[in-house]
Structure formats: C-alpha cells, structure tokens
Amino acid sequence: MTLACQRYNTHNDGPWLVWLHGLLGEGHEWEPVITACHEYPSLVIDLPRHGNSASISVNNFIEISALLTKTLKAQNITQYWLIGYSLGGRIAMYHACFGDTTGLLGLIVEGGNPGLYDGKERQDRIYHDKRWAQRFREEPIEKVLTQWYQQSVFSDLTDEKRQLLVEKRRHNAGFCIAESLETLSLGHQPWLVTELQQLTLPFIWLCGENDEKFQMIAQQYSLPVTTIPHAGHNAHQAQPDAYAVVINHILSLFG
C-alpha cells in the first residue's frame, strides 16, 4: 500500500520536492507554489484520510513515516527535499528525526508544531482534539468548519476567506478528519526539538509574519525561522509567489 500522489515538472533533473499538506487539505493545493518552483520535479502526496488517500488509515506517526518511505520508493525518488505544512509539517519533522531518511537532502516546515514538552499539555491536547473529532463525526461538516476557522491560529483571515475555506474543505468526510485528529494529534507526537537541533541536514522553519503563535514557538525554541510577509498561518496559500521565492532561494543555497 502506498499513498496517492501526483508528479509535476518531471522533465527536470535534480532533487525532488515532496509536498505534504495540512489537515483538511489535499496535495493539489500546492500547485500555485509548484508552478513557481518549476525548475524542480515535484511530488504532491495526499495524506491518509485525505483526498485520494481517504481510504488509507494509520494509527500513529511511525506508520505514516513508514508509508511515506514506501511511497517514495514506489515513485523511484532517491533524492528529495521534504516540505510540509501544519499536519504535513509535523509528519515531515517526525520523518526527518525518526524515519528512514535515505535520500533526504533537506527539511522545510511551514506552521508545523515541533511538539509539546509538558505531559499535561499533551493530555490536554489529546482531549481537545478528541472533542473536535467528535464534532466532525456527529455534526454537519459545514457547521464544524465554520467554527474551526474561528480558532485563534486563523485570526488573520477575513470572513470572506473563512467562508472560502469552508467551501473548499466541505467535501471532506467528517469521520476521516476525526480519525486524523485522533491518531495524529499533537498530543501523541513526540517532542522533537532536541532531535531537530541535532539534524545534520538543512532545516528551515517557515512562518507567516502574522502567525503570532508560531512566531512565539520559533523564538521559544530558537528555530531557524524564515518569515513570509503579509501572511498568517497558511502562508503558502496566502502568498504563493513570495513563498516560492523563499523555496527557490533555499534550494539555490544548498544546491
């Protein structure tokens, strides 16, 4: 079993860019950025319970990391950069720290939480995610999404942008999102800061300049942050061209 994926710019040589979306998203949402990163071959992946991988389940971060490895091998990708947003960023960080990193050249994470150090915080997060999961299972998804995007991490969004996101995400099956929230909760994720600080490969942590929560996380843990101007938590959606400029610059530095 491998994850659903799609290849772009395959006529190019060089390292592959492997893109992992966030909760409620799909691989194709990276297309505006990929278009501007056209000098590199790209692979976009639908994560378990999302998009064309909706029928695939995992129980923990170990399983999703192994599934990512199997997918890359099936696609004959031997050298790659891993780029992930939010949930995809957390998976990317876990994979870089504990997975099979054969061929991994660099790690770029946007709005991905490196973990919770305190045990009570982890338990509180598990409870928080279980409550949202119950709502996604039991209530109309449009209603849940409307309130989901009222969370403080999305405070930079206008009402119009929130409604557009609700329209875009409403095709998700509530029980699939609920399962992802539970099995890949931040509360179940290891605290990765120590391992991230010991990585020998390039690691860049991207953050929208208006994403106050993740700006604070970057300061707290001295993460190698690069700021995307005029963007909040979902920087690649808000500013795809500026985002691509940063990606292309990073790749030019590390070859």
CATH superfamily of domain region 5-115+190-254 = Alpha/Beta hydrolase fold, catalytic domain (3.40.50.1820)
pLDDT in tens, 81-113: 999 999 999 999 999 999 999 999 999 999 999
Q: What is the DSSP letter of 40?
A: S
User: What pLDDT sits at residue 19?
Assistant: 98
Q: What is the DSSP letter of 42?
A: E
Q: Where in the chain is the domain with CATH 3.40.50.1820?
A: 5-115+190-254
The neighbouring-strand residues paired with 7 are: 43
Q: What is the DSSP string of 176-208?
A: HHHHHHHHT-GGGS---HHHHHT--S-EEEEEE
User: What pLDDT sits at residue 255?
Assistant: 64
pLDDT in tens, the chain (255 residues): 999 999 999 998 889 999 999 999 999 999 999 999 999 999 999 999 999 999 999 999 999 999 999 999 999 999 999 999 999 999 999 999 999 999 999 999 999 999 999 999 999 999 999 999 999 999 999 999 999 999 988 888 889 989 999 999 999 999 999 999 999 999 999 999 999 999 999 999 999 999 999 999 999 999 889 999 999 999 999 999 999 999 999 999 986
Q: Is residue 202 exposed (0-12), middle (13-18) or buried (19+ Cβ within 10 Å)?
A: middle
pTM of the model: 0.96
